[in-house]
Amino acid sequence: MENLIALLVAAPLVGAALLLCGGKRLDRTGHLIGTLFSVASFALGVVLFADMLGKGAGDRALHQQLFTWIPVGGFRADIAFQLDQLSMTFVLLITGVGSLIHIYSIGYMEHDERRRRFFGYLNLFLAAMLLLVLADNYLLLYAGWEGVGLASYLLIGFWQHKPSAATAAKKAFLVNRVGDMGLSIAIMLMFTTFGTFAFGPVFAATDRAGQGTLTALGLLLLLGACGKSAQVPLQSWLGDAMEGPTPVSALIHAATMVTAGVYLITRSGAIFNAAPTAQLAVVVVGAVTLLFGAIVGCAKDDIKKALAGSTMSQIGYMILAAGLGPIGYAFAIMHLVTHGFFKAGLFLGAGSVMHGMNDEVDMRRYGGLRKYMPVTFITFGLGYLAIIGFPGLSGFFSKDKIIEAAFARGGTEGWILGGAALLGAAITAFYMTRVMLMTFFGEKRWDPAEVHPHESPKVMTLPMIVLAFGSVFAGGLFSINEAFVKWLEPVTSFAHGHSPVSATTVTAATMVVLVIGVGIAWGMYGRKPVPALAPRGSLLTRAARRDLLQDDFNHVVFVRGGQELTGTLVQLDRSVVDGAVNGTAAAMGGLSGLLRQLQTGFVRSYAVQMLGGAAVLVAATLLMRGV
Amino acid sequence: MSPVASVHSLWTVAAGAPGKIPAPHIEYAELSPTLIVLGAAVIGILIEALVPRRHRYYSQLLLSLVALAAAFAAVIGLAAGGFGSSKAHIAAMGAVAVDGPALFLQGTILLVSLIAVFTFAERRLEPAAHGEGASPARTKGRAWGRVDSFAAQPAAVPGSAAEQAAVKAGFTTTEVFPILLFAVGGMLIFPAASDLLTLFIALEVFSLPLYLLCALARRQRLLSQEAAVKYFLLGAFSSAFLLFGVALLYGYAGTVTYAGIAEVVSDGAKQIDPALAGTMGNDALLLIGAALVLMGLLFKVGAVPFHMWTPDVYQGAPTPVTGFMAAATKVAAFGALLRLLYVVLPGLRWDWRPVMWGVAILTMLGGAIVAITQTDIKRLLAYSSIAHAGFLLAGVVATSEDGVSSVLFYLGAYSFVTLGAFAVVTLVRDAGGEATALSKWAGLGRRSPLVAAVFAVFLLAFAGIPLTSGFAGKFAVFKAAAQSGAGWLVVVGVLSSAIAAFFYIRVIVLMFFNEPKADGPTVAVPSPLTTTAIAIGVTATLVLGLAPQYFLDLAGQASVFVR
């Protein structure tokens, strides 16, 4: 079976190669080819999953060594794969949700001239993402990491004729570079410390490394995770990334790629477990981001940006859970999967709404759409219930566990983290209710003469329905008899936390904040009409609309600071470096001019110089003997 | 006197009874490369005398190519027969070595000469008649309708009516081929010479034809003749030093064979020749003699401070000759230098190494620095060749097998680059013939991208940029020098390379990033001969740059001198 692992990656890679190199002759069939390869990869994943279920929990992990990529002395980089329960979870999520979104895109991108290229990029993304989760060493993981970055860049800027899309792509790329740098330095540090970057040997050797090294490793990995998963302080790109086509937002910027940071931290659990300081940084980042994203999500009128804020916030939950160590890893991944379902569903729903509303994204110009697009309304609604943690739906199980684990960290930290997670749940309920009300309820705020809302074609609604099933049932299924936790335990290990408050209390508190959040939203957007133009709002609202001033901060600190720095360096370069270089060049030129004058053209002076040279040569030879 | 050194007793010791001169034992097969080339040169002279004019060009061309190819085949045969390694010995009564370095260098010289013959035979670049009153109609019926780079009538006084008439008539001569073969013959002996007299004779055998060839430019004949006279005078001057050095060494050792001198240097004189009782074993004679012989060889390789002739001669000589000289002479002279230092003077290396370090440094820096302000492409390449001589000297002073092999490799790599570069120079022409002023090369890349790109490859190889043979060679040489403990020599070498890179890259910038001038030169379309020469140059440059290991190994196997 292990020989099939490479095929998981190869299938979408072949698809991408075909679609991107195939040229115009594939224009008419390109979307089908892309979908086919994606589904093939999913089918293969299911086969491997079935095989894995048939084995005992201890020996489920598969390895496949393809070839040694770079053997140089003690440096050995292998193209080798590892398929264990954690990777398997991701494979199914990536290929499953990926295939659904491929299918959805057939309808969504129907009228786009460059649809073949779009599917090529999607396949490329799948291949890179699978490489990322299947790699058995950090270097290969990094290759996938950069690959998804590339695919993300290409897809955010897919409508490159729009300057905003091109800028957003560039922004995402640049911010991600910061994180990637952290990961790459981490890999180098890992190699100098352990002499390898294969998962197994590195994790086995953590006790040999000093606490300082481990902390540095953890912080660098966290930096990488922050970049890819849009966590504070590298969160600024995700909102702009919504410039990409909506299926891209659903697949890459909600369900899969942005969760790579969670994967990285969970996979590197052995390192983080041994570095408590780094773990503390992780939970702080998670807690801050889950509030940050939630607050931003409250103020956005652009439906995709509101959802993007929500994504950021939900990943904050996962990072928080992953930072809690063995009591949280499994719940982080569980929330990741359920979030993959309901957030992808919500984005596809948003895309469906936009599809019917002439690509309008401003929720203040929606309203009352539930009658016009019932399927979208129901699937979106189920996603909504799932994300706010409505009892019995997916989000309820996964988020509840995270909040519980946060309290279980113990001490003051536990209270702070648990409180933040609870507060986040309240805000989540608020902003999601706001989205729901502004879009599907209330009065029409659109002009019926111009816009004719309609339900999307089946090829788009079908994936939404499938995802809605996932949103409703996944969490419950996972929680039966702690199935998911037991499934992952051999990889991530698991410890029951000792919460200072009982699980029932936490659940009750969650329910209370849920009701409060929904209630406030109802009071603000359900009971009275929503103004078609955004009111000025409070200071916090205005700040949240500007993404809590993240870009202003970056501009002042990094852009201005960078400009100052480069300005100074340019000055330094001109005066000192260029001065030295030009000075040397001028000196050489002058010397050359001087020496050139020896070349008089007169053979007599040449002969004299030769005579002198001979005399010096003889004298020097004799002198050497004397010395 | 050692038993191998008997033939030269003819000159030095009063012979026994007259008429009883012993017949020398000559291994004809082992000396066949040299003999083939010299024999062909003699046949070439006969062709000049006996074959009708219209057939001479083709017969000379064919003869030269066949002879050089045959000689090369003979070298390969000898190498395959083990003469490069196990069977290496000194042939011709101790006069000529047949060993790895000799065969490697002879092979290189023969290949280089073969390509040089292509450029010598080029007849499509020059219009048949030029200057005032030239009429293209006259060219009808001549070989390819054009003339070569050599003087229409070398005996005519420059600027005279006779010369103008000869030019207008589109005369061509074919003596250059046998002259070239004679020079090649001398060059084949030079690196193999195993006694000082053979060394001197070989030096003269290849120098005299070169002086002649330098004087044969079709255009700018005064410049060409001036170059030839300068080369001749200074060459004679340096030969005198060399000969004087030979005399002093003989006085010291009582023999002129390399092996004999080496023995005396390391073990002291065993038998004192009564005629030399006052001088034998006197170290002053050894040191001065060695220095003077070295000087003669340093003159030939163009090392500072004996380089003054190089730019003038390179500029004045017909460009194919310059290319040949720059490549083949350097190979031969470095071969002789290596053998002298490694076979004769190893016991003396603590004396000559510091001196040679000094010479290497002066040569590297001098060549690179003065090249910066050159405005003529041929002079620029001349100074570049001086700088390269310095890099080669850095390998020579390594006094290790790696040093030898790196120099052998470098020589091979460098000669193809040089030949190719000068071949490209013959293509860039305006009304006055070759347009060698650098300013005229501005924007060449816009007009003739292919030719400019090829020249750029050669320049990058000169500069030692990776993926060209220049890098592999320079790396090998510097590595050998560093391993021999001369790390600072390598530092100077790298700095000189940096300086040199400046003017090489400047030419590339000039060609590709400057606007072409309105009255700029045109690139002539050559015959397949020059095209082949340039193509071989580029191929060798890239192959030796991309996959140097095979050739490095070859040079490594050929790096042991027979003693």
Model ipTM value: 0.89
The one-letter amino acid code at A219 reads L
Reading the block at residue B97, the tokens are 């070595």
Test B369 with A610 for CB contact under 8 angstroms: no
- Token pair, residue B489, equals 């020599």
What is the spatial distance between Cα A137 and Cα A80, in angstroms, rounded to a whole number? 8
Could you give the percent of chain A with pLDDT greater than 70?
100
State whether A620 and B238 contact (CB < 8 Å): no
Which of B234, B284, B359 lies closest to A606 in CB terms?
Answer: B234
pLDDT per position as a tens digit, B364-420: 999 999 999 999 999 999 999 999 999 999 999 988 889 999 999 999 999 999 999
Answer yes or no: do B284 and A596 touch at CB < 8 A. no
Helix (H, G, I), strand (E, B) or coil at B125: coil
Q: How confident is the model at residue B279 (pLDDT cuts 50, 70, 90)?
A: confident
Report CB contact under 8 Å: A596, B370.
Answer: yes
- Check if A626 contacts B (Cβ < 8 Å): no
* Alpha helices, DSSP H, located in B190-220: 196-214
Residues of A in contact with B351 (CB under 8 A): 621, 624-625
Model pLDDT, residue B129: 65
Pick among B229, B355, B362, B378 to test the A interface (most A CBs inside 10 A): B355
Nearest CA in chain B to A586: B372
Rank A470-479, A541-550, B105-114, B119-128 by mean pLDDT and report only the highest: B105-114
Whole-model pTM: value is: 0.68
Query: Parallel, antiparallel, or unpaired: how do β-strands B96-98 and B428-430 relate?
Result: unpaired
Q: Per the structure block, which two tokens stand in for B264?
A: 């005396």
Separation between Cα atoms, residue B94 and residue B256, nearest integer Å: 10
* CB neighbourhood size of B4 (10 A): 18
Q: Does B357 touch chain A (CB under 8 A)?
A: no
Q: Using the beta-carbon criterion (under 8 Å), do B359 and A625 form an inter-chain contact?
A: no
Q: Backbone phi, then psi, for A27, in 5-degree steps?
A: -55, -35
Tokens representing residue A217 in the block: 């490793």
SS3 category, A75:
strand
**How close, in Å, is residue A309 to chain B by CA atoms?**
51
Chain B residue whose CA is closest to A597: B370
Q: How far apart are CA A509 and CA A203, in angstroms?
A: 38
Is cis: bond before A374, omega within 30 of 0?
no
* Mutant choice from A581, A582, A591, A592 vs B, greatest count of B C-beta within 10 A: A592
pLDDT in tens, A224-265: 999 999 998 899 999 999 999 999 999 988 889 999 999 999
Residue A272 · residue A278 · CB < 8 Å: yes
Name the burial class of residue B365, with classes exposed (0-12), middle (13-18) and buried (19+) by CB atoms within 10 angstroms of its CB.
Answer: buried
Spell out the SS3 assignment of A231-259: CCCCCCHHHHHHHCCHHHHHHHHHHCHHH
Chain A residue with minimum CA distance to B294: A617
- What pLDDT band is residue B145 in, cutting at 50, 70 and 90? low
pLDDT at B138: 43
B interface test, pick of A582, A594, A599 with most B CB neighbours within 10 Å: A599
Give yes or no for B230 touching A (CB within 8 A): yes
End-to-end CA distance of chain A, in Å? 77
Closest CA to A509 of A394, A433, A404, A386: A404
Q: Name the β-bridge partners of B433.
A: B430
Q: Say which of A598, A609, A625 has its CB closest to residue B351.
A: A625
Rounded CA-CA distance A247/B456 in Å is 50
Distance in angstroms (rounded) separating the CA atoms of residues A492 and A486: 10
Q: Is B127 helix (H, G, I), strand (E, B) or coil?
A: coil
Is B295 within 8 Å of A624 when comparing Cβ atoms? no
Write the CB contacts of A279 (distance below 8 Å, at least 6 apart in sequence): A218, A272, A273, A323, A324, A325
A624–B351 C-beta distance less than 8 A: yes
pLDDT confidence bin for B130, thresholds 50/70/90? low
> Which chain A residues are Cβ-neighbours of B230 within 8 angstroms?
603, 606
Which chain B residues contact residue A624 at CB under 8 A?
A: 350-352, 354-355
CA distance A243 to A335: 26
- Strands annotated E in A310-382: none
Contact B303, B363 (CB under 8 A): yes
Domain ranges of chain B: 27-557
The mean pLDDT of chain A is 91
DSSP E strands in A73-110: the ranges are: 75-83
Chain B residues closer than 8 Å to A589 by CB: 372-373
Closest partner residue to A607 (CB to CB) among B237, B288, B312 is B237
* Burial (CB count within 10 angstroms: exposed 0-12, middle 13-18, buried 19+), residue A157: buried
User: pLDDT confidence of B29, banded at 50, 70, 90?
Assistant: very high
Question: Would an 8 Å CB–CB cutoff place A620 in contact with chain B?
Answer: yes
Q: What is the pLDDT of residue A184?
A: 95
A195 versus A533: the higher-pLDDT residue is A195
Determine whether the interchain pair B372/A589 forms a contact, defined as Cβ–Cβ distance below 8 Å: yes
Which helix (H) or strand (E) segment holds residue A45: the answer is helix A30-53
With an 8 Å Cβ cutoff, is B345 touching chain A?
no
The 10s digit of each residue's pLDDT in B543-552 is 999 989 899 9
Q: Touching check for A523 and chain B: CB below 8 Å?
A: no
Between CA A244 and CA A252, with CA A246 as vertex, the angle to 5 degrees is: 75
Within B121-154, residue ranges assigned H as helices are none
Shortest CA gap A79–chain B (Å): 27
Residues in chain B: 563
Q: Is the pLDDT of residue B10 over 50?
A: no
Q: Cβ of A606 and B308 within 8 Å? A: yes
Collapsed DSSP state (helix, strand, coil) of residue A158: coil
Cα B331 to Cα A336: distance, rounded to the nearest angstrom: 72
- Transcribe B138-177 into DSSP letters: GGTTSGGGSB-SB-SSTTSPTTSHHHHHHHHHT----THH
Section B75-96 average pLDDT:
90
Sort out which chain B residues have CB atoms less than 8 A from A614's CB and list them: 241, 291-292, 295, 306
Nearest neighbour of A610 by CB, restricted to B290, B308, B369: B308
pLDDT of the residue at A96: 94
| Residue-level pLDDT at B17 | 55
Q: What is the mean pLDDT of residues A513-518?
A: 94
Task: Quote the tokens at residue A204.
Answer: 């086995």
Question: B229, B369, B375, B492: best mutation site toward chain A, by most A Cβ within 10 Å?
Answer: B369
CA distances from B438 to A190, B376, B521 (A): 54, 5, 11
B231 touches A at CB < 8 Å: no
The DSSP secondary structure of A391-434, one letter per residue, reads: TTSHHHHHHHHHHHHHHHT-HHHHHHHHHHHHHHHHHHHHHHHH
Q: For position B521, what pLDDT does the model report?
A: 87
C-beta atoms of B291 and A595 within 8 A: no
Closest to A41 in 3D by CA, of A9, A16, A65, A17: A9
Cα B363 from Cα B388, distance rounded (Å) = 8
Mean pLDDT computed over A504-525 = 92
3-state secondary structure of B89: strand
> A572 Cβ partners below 8 Å, 6+ apart?
none
B161-220 tens-digit pLDDT: 888 888 888 888 899 999 999 999 999 999 999 999 999 999 999 999 999 999 999 888
- Model confidence at B278: pLDDT above 80: no
pLDDT of A67 above 60: yes
**What part of A 566-595 touches B (C-beta under 8 Å)?**
585, 588-589, 591-593, 595
User: Are A592 and B373 within 8 A, CB to CB?
Assistant: yes
CA dihedral angle for residue B385, residue B390, residue B391, residue B394, rounded to 10 degrees: 160
Give B354's Cβ-side CA count (13 Å radius).
13
Q: Does B524 touch chain A (CB under 8 A)?
A: no
C-beta neighbour count of A495 within 10 angstroms = 15
| Dihedral pair phi/psi, residue A600, rounded to 5° | -80, -20
Name every chain A residue with its beta carbon within 8 A of the beta carbon of B292: 614, 618
Report, as an integer, the average pLDDT of B116-139.
70
Count interface pairs A-B at CB distance under 8 A. 89
Q: What's phi and psi for A75, nearest 5 deg? A: -90, 125
How confident is the model over B508-551, as pLDDT tens digits?
999 999 888 888 888 888 889 999 999 999 999 999 999 898 99
Cβ contacts of B305 on chain A, cutoff 8 Å: 609-610, 612-613, 616
Residue B15 has pLDDT above 60, yes or no: no
Helix axes A260-267, A85-108, angle to 10 degrees: 170
Contact by Cβ (8 Å): B425, B436: yes
Helix (H) / strand (E) element for B396: namely helix B377-396
Find all residues with CB under 8 Å of A113, minimum gap 6, and list them: none
Residue B358 touches partner A, C-beta closer than 8 Å: yes
Q: Distance from first CA to last CA of chain B, Å, rounded?
A: 16
Residue B91 backbone phi and psi in degrees, to 5: -95, 180
> Which position has the token pair 């695919």?
A151
Both structure tokens of A549 = 């001033």
B65 CB contacts (<8 Å, ≥6 apart)?
B114, B117
Q: Output b/e per residue, A521-535; b: 16+ Cβ within 10 A.
A: beeebbeeebeeebe
User: Minimal Cα distance from B236: which residue of A?
Assistant: A607
Taking contacts as CB-CB distances below 8 angstroms, the residues of chain B near A583 are none
pLDDT at residue A335 in the model? 94
